[in-house]
């Protein structure tokens, strides 16, 4: 159970000493100034009828004016300091959460709906849809002013009127305040519980606004469907939320309004009795009335703080719940499950082989394993092609090789060493992978290729060499600013690429990683988007490109895999055939049948 105020307080140091101290000091002063104003104006009123000292009202009037001016002068700094504190705290939180999402949360956990709900809420908050943890800190600091003001008012009432009146005013203000915050907290909890429904609605919005999806939306005429679905999902979300909001707020609101009226009325009666009995003078009467108003107003909603602290805290809680799945730095994902320690150190390039030994792997909650006792030897320095029908587990195999998942049984070894005993980051530096769904960064061509080895300083010769080997040099030379052209039409001077052109860039990225020291080149359907000429060129240079590397190639087109030294056929979670192209065709097995089927189609 995470508690609101301690959780927010722990974030204050992230704002940095200067901004946090300035914001707190600002809050203290702006809390005290209205009390000083009340005190001075009341003293001024009391001095007005003093004929013996006709100028006695001037000093308190001057001080009241000074308090008022100071309040006016300080007001703009509240927003500026709040923004600074919010930004600083959010920067730290965002940094942390991105690290957890990208580097420390096991892939299997990232796909859980409850984890996606938490991450969805965090994402929405940082995109501005809800307050962030930084806003919660700024809101909490702003709240200090309100409490200081209440404290000042209660002390003045206690001293000038009676301790009983001070006590009643304080108790009324606090009861109403806590009742109000209680409702806010209950509603926020209910709101958090509806994250799944919100995520569905946001997804529809993303589809509607996403430039990439727009083509299909237009051609298929999906706009009416999208609108109707969005309306229906929004209603399904909003109707119960509004009902809850009414239930949570209405009853308590009536209750605490009655308490406020009773408490306020009681203190007014105490004030009136004291005045009638002549126990209070004009100054005390004025202080009493003004301070009681301050106390009565304490129960209302504070726009600079209430939503920010409540929902900003919910975002913080979502982050903490999400980060529960993260593992410590430098550990591989499965270290969190107590299966392995976190080894460190360099990893040498494979010299003999990478082997899958009786590997069993199922995705979370899947009844049937994808790999079921899979044995596979990938010889170092040679090329191995993996073929199989859709869903056979080829990409899964690559994910295990890259340690995005670990097998539930069996092991993957590199020269006999269990992959789990190697430093995962060092191992990944040995890999150059082109995934089927590689990322298309909205960055320059140079940066897109440099992502293969982002730590290397920019070296245009190496970048162009990788581009040339991937068949992307012509394409880069034709770009308006060459390597410096953003590969996205969303930026001025930028240019989007075709599917095949992007694939060449992805390939260049992998070859750049090889230039940086990777020795295992893994390519999942690297030519799926290439035209026939580009594909032919790629495979003509296949031997040259993969020379000295341990290469794993996944492909559906048999014309492409035949270039590999060894081909393995994956079926039913296991390797069912292995050999070179001629041998496999000659053996008349599954590979031969699939090859004949494909060849026959082209021969027609
Ligand atoms: N993240 C995931 N969570 C759950 N199941 C998954 C996940 N990824 C893949 N699968 C399932 O695992 C099986 C193997 O998928 P995989 O992507 O490894 O197949 P593949 O051989 O690469 O297929 P294709 O030729 O279509 O690319 C499929 O049945 C798929 O539904």
pLDDT at 213 over 80: no
Tokens for 580?
Answer: 């070179």
Segment among 67-76, 168-177, 325-334 with least mean pLDDT: 325-334
Is residue 133 located within the same domain as residue 275?
Answer: yes
Q: Give mean pLDDT, residues 26-44.
A: 94
Q: Give mean pLDDT, residues 219-231.
A: 88
Predicted structure pTM score: 0.75
Q: Say how many Å lie between the CA of residue 403 and the centre of ligand 1.
A: 16
- At 359-387, the pLDDT tens digits run 999 998 788 999 999 999 999 999 999 99
pLDDT at 80 over 80: yes
Report the percentage of the chain scoring pLDDT > 90: 52
Asked if residue 541 belongs to a domain, the reply is yes
How many domains, the chain? 3
pLDDT at 106 over 80: yes
Is residue 114 located within the same domain as residue 184?
Answer: yes
pLDDT at 14 over 90: yes
- At 501-544, the pLDDT tens digits run 999 999 999 999 999 999 999 999 888 887 888 788 888 788 78
Q: What is the CATH number of the domain that holds 118?
A: 1.20.1560.10
pLDDT the model gives residue 249: 87
Domain end: 500, 518, 536, which one?
518
* Mutation to probe ligand 1, out of 107, 395, 561 (largest number of atoms < 8 A from CB): 395
Q: Which atom of ligand 1 is nearest to the CA of 396?
A: 18
Q: Say how many Å lie between the CA of residue 197 and the centre of ligand 1.
A: 27
Q: Say how many Å lie between the CA of residue 41 and the centre of ligand 1.
A: 76
Q: Say how many Å lie between the CA of residue 390 and the centre of ligand 1.
A: 8
Is residue 363 located within the same domain as residue 469?
Answer: no
Asked if residue 504 belongs to a domain, the reply is yes
Q: Which contacts (CB < 8 Å, 24+ apart) does range 274-283 have?
A: 274/161, 274/162, 274/165, 280/160, 280/161, 281/46, 282/42, 282/45, 282/46, 282/49, 283/42, 283/43, 283/45, 283/46, 283/160
Ligand 1 atom 31: residue of nearest CA: 391
Q: Say how many Å lie between the CA of residue 427 and the centre of ligand 1.
A: 23
- Give the confidence band of 601 by pLDDT, cuts at 50, 70, 90: low
- At 237-247, the pLDDT tens digits run 999 999 998 98
- Give the confidence band of 212 by pLDDT, cuts at 50, 70, 90: low
Q: Could you tell me if 493 and 481 are in contact, meaning their C-beta atoms sit under 8 angstroms apart? A: yes
Q: Say how many Å lie between the CA of residue 569 and the centre of ligand 1.
A: 16
Is residue 510 located within the same domain as residue 543?
Answer: no
Q: Could you tell me if 387 and 594 are in contact, meaning their C-beta atoms sit under 8 angstroms apart? A: yes
> What lines the ligand 1 site, CB under 6 Å?
111, 363, 366, 370, 388, 390-396
pLDDT at 275 over 70: yes
* Mutation to probe ligand 1, out of 394, 407, 524 (largest number of atoms < 8 A from CB): 394
Please list, in sequence order, all residues whose beta carbon lies within 8 angstroms of the beta carbon of residue 4, skipping any fewer than 6 positions away.
185, 309, 310, 313
pLDDT the model gives residue 211: 61
pLDDT at 398 over 80: yes
pLDDT the model gives residue 114: 87
Asked if residue 43 belongs to a domain, the reply is yes
CA distance 449 to 471: 13
Tokens for 189?
Answer: 């909890």
Asked if residue 341 belongs to a domain, the reply is no
Ligand 1 atom 29: residue of nearest CA: 391
- DSSP string over 374-443: EEEEEETTSEEEEEESTTSSHHHHHHHHTTSS--SEEEEEETTEEGGGS-HHHHHHTEEEE-TT----SS
Q: Say how many Å lie between the CA of residue 267 and the centre of ligand 1.
A: 71
Beta strands in 264-333 (DSSP E): none
Is residue 82 located within the same domain as residue 178?
Answer: yes
CA distance 269 to 284: 15
pLDDT at 264 over 60: yes
Tell me the residue range of the domain where 111 lies: 4-194+264-323
Q: What is the DSSP letter of 483?
A: G
Q: Say how many Å lie between the CA of residue 396 and the centre of ligand 1.
A: 6
**Tokens 């989007």 label which residue?**
496
Q: Say how many Å lie between the CA of residue 369 and the centre of ligand 1.
A: 11
Ligand 1 atom 10: residue of nearest CA: 363
Is residue 509 located within the same domain as residue 529?
Answer: no
- At 298-348, the pLDDT tens digits run 877 888 999 999 999 999 999 999 988 887 655 555 444 444 445 567 888
Is residue 62 located within the same domain as residue 151?
Answer: yes
Is residue 446 located within the same domain as residue 468?
Answer: yes
Q: Say how many Å lie between the CA of residue 195 and the centre of ligand 1.
A: 27
Three-class secondary structure of residue 347 per DSSP: coil
pLDDT the model gives residue 154: 94
| Nearest one of 290, 292, 297 to 269, comparing CA atoms | 292
Domain end: 323, 341, 362, which one?
323
Sheet of 409-414, strands arranged across:
371-379, 353-361, 409-414, 417-418
Asked if residue 248 belongs to a domain, the reply is no
Q: Could you tell me if 298 and 150 are in contact, meaning their C-beta atoms sit under 8 angstroms apart? A: yes
Indicate the average pLDDT of the chain: 88
Domain end: 304, 323, 342, which one?
323
Asked if residue 343 belongs to a domain, the reply is no
Asked if residue 568 belongs to a domain, the reply is yes
Asked if residue 464 belongs to a domain, the reply is yes
Q: Say how many Å lie between the CA of residue 178 and the centre of ligand 1.
A: 52
Is residue 510 located within the same domain as residue 525?
Answer: no
pLDDT the model gives residue 129: 86
Ligand 1 atom 9: residue of nearest CA: 396
* Mutation to probe ligand 1, out of 109, 385, 389, 393 (largest number of atoms < 8 A from CB): 393
pLDDT the model gives residue 483: 95
CA distance 188 to 315: 10
Identify the bridge partners of residue 566 per DSSP, sorted by sequence position: 384
Q: Could you tell me if 120 and 198 are in contact, meaning their C-beta atoms sit under 8 angstroms apart? A: yes
Would strands 383-388 and 409-414 be described as parallel, antiparallel, or unpaired? unpaired
Is residue 145 located within the same domain as residue 19?
Answer: yes
Ligand 1 atom 16: residue of nearest CA: 393
pLDDT at 430 over 60: yes
Q: Give mean pLDDT, residues 554-566.
A: 85
Ligand 1 atom 4: residue of nearest CA: 363
Is residue 415 located within the same domain as residue 305?
Answer: no
pLDDT at 271 over 80: yes
- Give the confidence band of 559 by pLDDT, cuts at 50, 70, 90: confident
- At 450-501, the pLDDT tens digits run 999 998 999 999 999 999 999 999 999 999 999 999 999 888 899 999 989 9
Question: Phi/psi zone of residue 220: left (φ > 0), alpha (ψ -120 to 50 degrees), beta?
Answer: alpha
pLDDT the model gives residue 19: 96
pLDDT at 12 over 80: yes
> Hey, what's the torsion of the CAs at 247, 250, 251, 254, to 10 degrees?
180
Q: What is the CATH number of the domain that holds 379?
A: 3.40.50.300
* Mutation to probe ligand 1, out of 362, 396, 434 (largest number of atoms < 8 A from CB): 396
Is residue 190 located within the same domain as residue 130?
Answer: yes
- At 276-302, the pLDDT tens digits run 888 888 888 899 888 988 888 887 788
CA distance 448 to 457: 14
Q: Could you tell me if 315 and 327 are in contact, meaning their C-beta atoms sit under 8 angstroms apart? A: no
pLDDT the model gives residue 448: 96
């Amino acid at each position: 159970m995470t508690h609101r105020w301690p959780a927010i307080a722990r974030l204050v140091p992230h704002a940095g000493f200067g901004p946090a101290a300035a914001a707190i000091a600002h809050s203290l002063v702006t809390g005290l100034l209205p009390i000083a104003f009340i005190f001075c104006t009341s003293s001024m009123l009391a001095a007005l009828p003093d004929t013996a000292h006709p100028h006695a009202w001037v000093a308190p009037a001057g001080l009241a004016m000074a308090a008022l001016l100071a309040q006016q002068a300080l007001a703009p700094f509240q927003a500026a300091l709040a923004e600074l504190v919010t930004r600083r705290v959010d920067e730290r939180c965002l940094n942390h959460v991105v690290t957890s999402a990208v580097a420390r949360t096991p892939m299997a956990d990232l796909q859980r709906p409850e984890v996606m709900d938490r991450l969805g809420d965090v994402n929405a908050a940082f995109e501005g849809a809800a307050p962030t943890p930084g806003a919660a800190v700024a809101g909490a600091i702003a709240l200090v002013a309100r409490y200081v003001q209440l404290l000042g008012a209660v002390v003045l009432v206690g001293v000038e009127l009676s301790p009983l009146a001070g006590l009643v005013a304080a108790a009324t203000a606090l009861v109403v305040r806590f009742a109000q915050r209680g409702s806010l907290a209950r509603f926020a909890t209910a709101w958090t519980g509806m994250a799944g429904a919100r995520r569905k609605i946001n997804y529809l919005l993303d589809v509607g606004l996403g430039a990439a999806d727009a083509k299909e939306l237009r051609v298929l005429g999906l706009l009416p469907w999208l609108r109707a679905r969005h309306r229906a999902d929004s209603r399904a979300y909003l109707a119960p939320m509004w009902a809850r909001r009414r239930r949570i707020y209405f009853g308590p609101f009536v209750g605490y309004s009655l308490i406020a009226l009773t408490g306020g009325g009681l203190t007014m009666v105490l004030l009136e009795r004291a005045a009638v009995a002549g126990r209070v003078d004009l100054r005390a009467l004025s202080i009493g009335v003004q301070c009681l108003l301050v106390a009565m107003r304490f129960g209302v909603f504070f726009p600079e703080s209430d939503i920010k602290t409540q929902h900003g805290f919910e975002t913080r809680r979502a982050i903490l719940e999400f980060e529960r799945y993260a593992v410590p730095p430098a550990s591989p994902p499965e270290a969190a499950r107590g299966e392995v320690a976190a080894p460190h150190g360099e990893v040498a390039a494979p010299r003999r082989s990478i082997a899958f030994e009786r590997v069993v792997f199922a995705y979370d909650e899947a009844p049937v394993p994808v790999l079921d006792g899979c044995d596979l030897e990938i010889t170092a320095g040679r090329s191995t092609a993996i073929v199989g029908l859709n869903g056979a587990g080829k990409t899964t195999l690559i994910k295990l090789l890259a340690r995005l998942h670990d097998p539930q049984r069996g092991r993957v070894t590199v020269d006999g060493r269990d992959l789990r005993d190697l430093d995962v980051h060092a191992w990944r530096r040995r890999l150059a992978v082109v995934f089927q769904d590689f990322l298309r960064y909205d960055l320059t061509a140079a940066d897109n290729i440099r992502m293969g080895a982002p730590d290397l300083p920019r070296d245009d010769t190496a970048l162009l060499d990788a581009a040339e080997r991937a068949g992307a040099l012509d394409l880069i030379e034709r770009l308006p600013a060459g390597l410096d052209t953003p590969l996205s039409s969303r930026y001025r001077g930028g240019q989007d690429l075709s599917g095949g052109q992007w694939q060449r860039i992805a390939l260049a990225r992998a070859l750049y990683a090889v230039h940086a020291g990777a020795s295992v080149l893994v390519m999942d359907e690297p030519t799926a988007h290439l035209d026939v000429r580009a594909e032919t060129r790629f495979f003509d240079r296949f031997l040259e490109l993969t020379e000295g590397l341990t290469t794993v190639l996944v492909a559906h087109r048999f014309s492409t895999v035949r270039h590999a030294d060894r081909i393995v056929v994956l079926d039913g979670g296991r390797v069912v055939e292995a050999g070179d192209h001629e041998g496999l065709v000659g053996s008349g097995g599954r590979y031969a049948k699939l090859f004949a089927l494909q060849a026959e189609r082209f021969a027609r």
